[in-house]
Amino acid sequence: MATLFPAMRRAARIRVTPSTVSTSEDSLPMAVTPTSADVKAGQASYTPISLRFYDAMVYGLTCPVFWKVPRRELLRLYRRNVSTEHLDIGVGSGYLLHHTPLPVGQRITLFDMNPHCLEYVSRRLGRHDVATCRGNVLEPFPLPQRSHDSAALNLMLHCVPGDFGYKGVAFDNAAACVRPGGTLFGSTVLSRGVPVTRRARLALNRLNAVKGFNNTEDSLADLDRELGKRFSEYKLTVHGCTALFEATVE
């Protein structure tokens, strides 16, 4: 996620937590056809220096203050779903994995386009059995199929270019690496169909303008549709303008 500086059920269960202000979506710029430059731009802000401040900025400020999703909800999401063979996609700083109780030596695979993130999180999770893989979430992963019991796409789909009809392929690529009965879960910030405060709308406009985010067309309905096309058992909940999803891979 860029900084602000230049038990499942059959069918979705959508729960929206209150937000203080809901503003018009008319001011959002329209999405354009994504390019390879857009894909790279979405992760370009992750540098060795910025990663030092990521935890405080994202989990201490933007998530609770702008996106209205409490840090505890994201931690609960991880603690419910991380398995003994876990694949983390778009790893950021590794904050949630670091704060999820796991046995020493836990097998974790980190997948990201950004080598700085992979190196940073590998060091942070050094007490575990960590493997890294570099790649594009919109392309098939260079990993063995059905090799993990859980996979997470946390706070990263809003950085991926295109609408959900385009970026939904990330669900396919991630699910291909999960064994039947395993879980694909994660979170993403939405621009449409959810409560968005004025402060959040200003931040979204800024982040999309500098290509840190690519979520001007991301709606709750479209996310629900893409999950429903791929999974017969999934759960979708909303906190502020952030959607949390959990799906069972078939």
Please write the tens of the pLDDT for every residue from 75-130.
999 999 999 999 999 999 999 999 999 999 999 999 999 999 999 999 999 999 99
- Domain of 167, in residue numbers: 14-133+145-248
Q: Does residue 112 belong to any structural domain of this protein?
A: yes
- Let me know if residue 95 belongs to a domain: yes
CA 13 to chain CA centroid, nearest Å = 19
Residues 211, 119, 109, 86: is their CA dihedral positive or negative? negative
Asked if residue 206 belongs to a domain, the reply is yes
CATH number of the domain where residue 24 is located: 3.40.50.150
Q: Which amino acid is at 148?
A: H
The total domain count for the chain is: 1
8 in a structural domain: no
Say if residues 107 and 129 touch (Cβ distance below 8 Å).
Answer: yes
Contact indicator for 15, 238 with CB cutoff of 8 Å: yes
Residue 215 lies in a domain: yes
- pLDDT, position 21: 36
Single pTM value for the model: 0.85
Tokens of 165: 């009809």
Among 117, 238, 67, 80, residue whose Cα is nearest residue 59: 67
